Structure 1
Amino acid sequence: GPYYYRFTGQAFLGATLSFITMIVSVSLAALAVGLRHKTNPALLGIGLSNLTNLTNLLSMLLSNWASVENGTVSLQRIHEIVNLPAEGSDGETPDKRSSYIRRISIAKDEAWPVHGSVKFQDFSMKYRNDLPPVLRDINFSIRGGTKLGICGRTGSGKSSMILALFRAYPFTTGKVTIDGIDISRLDLHSLRSELSVVSQEPFLWHAPLRDNLDPARLCADDILWAALRRVGMSDAISKLPGKLEALIEESSLSRGEKQLLCMARVLLRQRQIVILDEATSSLDFETDKRIREIIQTDLSDKTIIAVAHRIATIVEFDMVIVLDSGSIVEMGNPRELLSDPASKFRRLAASQGISAEEDREDYVWAI
């Protein structure tokens, strides 16, 4: 991380300064010997004495200078965040709201989405107006309950598809609909509150387990325990002091256990659309297998949209999309694509050691 590079840089500078100080000291000592009859010995002695402190003084100077630079960068980033345009209730800045578009707010007692169908139509998106599109002419549709995998090389636009569903950036062209409703006409709260997401980095608050599973505290204890049993975490939680009231700390659970708690939260929310953004990319085999079982059983009627780096996690899905440079280059059933010698998905899978003939239980071990 950044601290490692900082400390190694400081160590290198310290060693370099010590070497320079040694050369200066040897040179001064040689000069003192050569000019012993022409130079005041007291001055040479003072010079040699002060050289011993030169390394420490220079190290302190460089360290303080680095701290000032770090502080300046931090201040600049804080300034950028403070000056970010605030999203309105419709997700747009006040000066860019479309007065002729009526925003739709979904009432709390109104069931939406019912089916979880998703459609991208002639969709393109940029992160900024002065940047090239990250997604270009995206066209596809899936019915409710479909398990969709999105794959591609690094930088192909996989995560941008997820950001589009959350309307994290303005649409350039086209539209995205969920159950027939254009999401650009929805206010952000109505849209985002109906999407469950599990990211690559498990997100848990420094708070009691109950608040992490059910922030609104709408579920009874037996429902919480049922969700924990479904993800295989009930035994581990029952051993914690306080159980459901146990404080979740950064080091108290493994990465896999945290991800399973995130899956339990998804089960409790019961949203029709579940988004997995490389949720199993760095998990062990058993945790990965359990999450795949949860997807196929407890979430069998939900629409699953999974961004996957490991092809093994999506070979049993209903449909896959292969992205390249922000465009769809291939889509279809993963089993059929694996059987096609000309398939880009097959080549991507082969690069991870997966073939159509392998037993599906061995997929995860093949990568």
Structure 2
Amino acid sequence: MNCLNDDKFGPFVVGCRDDFDFTKTFEQLALSIAPNAFFIILAAARITKLTKTSGRVRAPFLLLAKTLSALALFGLHGAYLTGQIVNSHHGGRYSLLAAALATMSAAVLILCSRMAHARMDGPSDAITIFLFASVVCEAVQLRTHCLSSAPVFLTGCFAAITACTCLLLVVELASKSTRTAPTGVWKEPKRSRSALSKVFLWWLNDLVRYAYKHEIDPGDLGPLDEDLAAATYRNRFMTRYRTIQCKETNHPEHRRGWKVARALVRTLGTSCVAPGLPRLAISAFRFAHPFFISSILDHLAQATSYLPAGTAVAYVGIVLLLNIGSAMATSLYGYYQERAVAQKDKEVNKYKETAVQLRAIAMEGRNPLNKHFKETLDGLVTIRAYGWSESSIRLNDELVDKSQQSYFLSAILQTWLRTMLNLCIAMVASVFVGIASQLPTSTGLVGVALVTFMSAGEMLGNVIQSYTALQTSAVAVNRLKFLQDGVPREDDPGNIESPENWPSEGVVQLDAVSAAYKTSTPYPGKELALVEAQDPDDGLKAMSLHVKKGETMLVCGRTGSGKSTLLLLVQGFITPRSGSVTIDGLAPASVDRNKLRDSVIALPQFPFFLTSEYTVRDNLEHHFCSAELSLADIQEAKPQTLQDEDCMYALQTVGLWDTVSAQGGLDAPLKEGSLSRGQKQLFSLARAILRQRLKRRASGGAGGRLLLLDEFNTGLDASTESLMWDVIKTEFSSCTVICVAHRLGAASDFDHVAVLGHGRVMEEGVPSVLLEDPTSKFRAIWGMKEV
């Protein structure tokens, strides 16, 4: 049958090739001339740019493979061009032009490939995209050659060209970085990834394989992409914000407000719009699926036995195009979507192993960031006093990047799974279409199968991700289980019997003490293994400090200097790694823990309260529930009225009795929100007064000589802070007081001050003397006390 429009643009042929093909003119113009001409222009610009750079990559065997493949491709195109000249009547209107441009692009490809190999860290995106597009276009043209009864020489040459293009694409995709880098841990930088690796997320394959056989930690994940780093977005935002601010300053009539929001939109605008095009592509592929199913079912219904070979091959190509295109669009959409929010059974197991470990790392990565936020807010005065703003910002950027690193990979891993499943579905669907078109089958069954293939990838992905979510959520359960069963109970040797009234003087002595919070303790179970990060720096480093009897000591310093660690050490919550700490000559580690914490009175920064059914009396007395000296013991020695008098005295002393009595008295429930921030601190001080009062009565006035204050004045107004200091000086006048504070409003009331830094005592002395020294670190902090 003669074609009626093969020499026209078409695009669809009429009168030949089962009326199911493109015209030769359309194929030559759209699938050969246009891409080759575009590549020649692009390659010329690329070569010009590469000539200005120096060679820095050496992989001679890979370069040799690329050169030989490119030379073979050039030779095949030359042979095909010769065949077209000899048999010009078998080609289309533009067959010679298409063959000539293809030969020229193959020649340019040789030079471009060699220069890109030597001067680029990774594969050339221009070359890999061109070769991938060429494979698709040449496959369509090869089918036309087979169906149009072209000379065997031309058909054979074109088949060899298609195969050689595939080979060259595989060679070009080889990563030069991974060939020279040590094997093992996955740390492939973004610049070494090819365009197709980014589209199909192949750069995750090494991580998945490694995580399947090994346990990974944050150090194995490699650096976060530079364009995702917190510092990058912070600099972009500040640049745009200053630009807007400068324009409005120079042109007040154009002032519109919302400067922060406008700068944020300009900073994130591209990232928010980027997922739009892939999302449209996904919708287009899904929209095309029903038309494909309708078309193949119509052909099957009209065929007497099976479809012609050419039509069957076309349908196989269409199903591959739809499914692989959908996989590419899904991958790009998922990748850019997760950026905006900053296969088989064996493959599923690999995905599960990697996802579980990434989830565990993500949970651990957020802890330092949250801690840094809190410490920064609490230590703003110190940070500003010492000029540590820039270093704090850099540390914040590093912690944000580390927390986003595992979260981003965990989210992208889900997109990788969907992409792999879609590629598998594409292979299965193409085989199914090929078989169904060549065997007598039920049209209805074929339709049902094809409809199932449309949603099979999504359904399988949801099942696997739901199962993996169950596994990854078990990380939290495992942590709780580990805390219950794996963490040993606090050591309580009780080797030394402390005196009845200990501590009677409140003398605290630290001699070259080094102490740290964390130890490296793995969680049980390979699949849920989670190792706590070990800080190489101790919280205290060879610290020596002496607090005399009845002395009031102020401890200050920047966030992370060791202030809170010092208080925890005195209370026995942590033990020194080296050196010694004593209270009245006894080491806290050698004293029974209940006895120790009952004897030392402490006011925390954030006091704890029992609400709902618990009363004011319960909240005043709950600290005695597990102590050696409990209110239950005291109740046997005195009447209830005396207890009420003690509670009332404590509340009256801090100025809360009127508030409590107005709400119903000591036996009224303590409701949530009934006390303000300052009143809660005053209530905590009332607990300490009651505890001190009862303890001294029971011990004859000799016990309870040590008071610890942990930033208790944070967030208090000046009047409340002044009231608390007056009460402390009156009620605890005979006690040794160690106070950790950022706000230094009452620093002059202390006998001694110690400035800590990096776990050491940087400076100590009398506050009034240090304030007169212009080089004093304490004076620098004092100058910022009102900030």
Structure 2 match to 1:232:
655
Give 1:198 shift: 1.2
**Conserved 8 A contact 1:201-1:279:** yes
Structure 2 CA distance for aligned equivalents of residues 59 and 340 of structure 1:
68
Tell me which structure has the larger Cα radius of gyration: 2
Instruction: Label 1:59 to 1:247 Cα distance change in 2 as closer, same or farther (>3 A).
Output: farther
Q: How does 1:134-173 map to 2 (within 5 A)?
A: 134-173=539-578
| 2:625 is aligned with 1:212 | no
Alpha-carbon distance in 2 for matches of 1:72, 1:186:
36
Question: Which residue is 1:116 aligned to?
Answer: 506
Letter in 2 for 1:25: S
Matching residue's letter, 2:717: D
Structure 1: which amino acid aligns with 2:762?
V
Q: Which amino acid aligns with 1:163?
A: L
Q: 1:284–1:60: structure 2 CA closer, same or farther, 3 Å change rule? A: farther
The 1:246/1:347 distance shift into structure 2, 3 A limit, reads same
Letter in 2 for 1:28: R
**2:488 is matched with which residue: 85, 88, 109?**
85
More strand by share: 1
1:39-118 mapped onto 2 (5 Å cutoff): 69-90=472-493, 102-106=495-499, 110-118=500-508
Runs of 5+ unmatched residues, structure 2? 1-272, 299-443, 521-535, 623-629, 635-641, 693-703
Aligned to 2:283: 25
* Contact residue 32 and residue 39 of structure 1 kept, 8 A: no
AA partner of residue 339 (structure 1) = E
TM-score (normalizing by structure 1): 0.75
Name the CA distance, whole Å, in 1 between partners of 2:461 and 2:750: 61
SS in structure 1 of the partner of residue 666 of structure 2? helix
**Do the aligned residues in 2 keep the contact of 1:316 with 1:335 (CA within 8 Å)?**
no
Letter in 1 for 2:575: P
Of 763, 768, 774, which aligns to 1:330? 763
1:106-156 Cα offsets, whole Å, 9 max, x none, are: 4xxx32222222221232223356744321222222222211111111111
Alpha carbons of structure 1 residues 280 and 74: separation in structure 2 relative to 1, 3 Å: farther
Tell me the alpha carbon deviations over residues 2-42 of structure 1, each in whole angstroms, 9 at most, x when there is no partner: xxxxxxxxxxxxx9999976653344335667x69835599
Per the alignment, residue 245 of structure 1 pairs with 667
Q: Is the 8 A contact 1:278 1:309 kept in 2?
A: yes
- The sequence identity of aligned pairs, in percent, is 31
Secondary structure at 2:683's aligned position in 1? helix
SS at 2:567 equivalent: helix
2:359 alignment counterpart: none
User: For 1:325-364, what aligned pairs fall within 5 Å after superposition?
Assistant: 325-350=758-783, 353-354=784-785
Q: By how many angstroms is 1:59 displaced?
A: 8.8
The DSSP-based 3-state class of the residue aligned with 1:193 is: helix
Residue of structure 1 equivalent to 2:580:
175
**Residue 723 of structure 2 corresponds to which residue in structure 1?**
290
Deviation at 1:229, TM superposition (A): 0.9
Secondary structure of the structure 2 residue equivalent to 1:323: strand
Deviations 1:184-236 (A, max 9, x none): 43222222211111111111234221122123444611221111011111111
**Unmatched tracts of structure 1, length 5 or more:** 1-14, 92-101, 355-365
Give 1:63 deviation, angstroms. 7.9
Judge conservation of contact 1:175–1:184 (CA < 8 Å) in 2: no
Query: Once the two structures are superposed, what CA deviation does each residue of 1:17-74 show, in whole Å capped at 9, x if it has no partner?
Result: 99976653344335667x6983559979x97xx98xx79x989986886565344223
* 1:293-332 matches, cutoff 5 A: 293-332=726-765
Deviates more, 1:161-170 or 1:277-286: 277-286
Rounded to whole Å, the distance in 2 between the matches of 1:64 and 1:208 is 46
- Supply the distance in 2 between the matched residues of 1:330 and 1:174 (Cα, whole angstroms): 20
Q: CA 1:344–1:23 in structure 2 vs 1: closer, same or farther (change >3 Å)?
A: same
Partner Cα distance (1:318, 1:182) in 2: 25
User: SS at 2:602's partner residue?
Assistant: strand
Secondary structure at the aligned position of 2:510 is classed as: strand
The superposition leaves residues 299-330 of structure 1 with CA deviations (integer Å, 9 ceiling, x where unpaired) of 22222111112233534311111111111110
SS in 2 for 1:227: helix
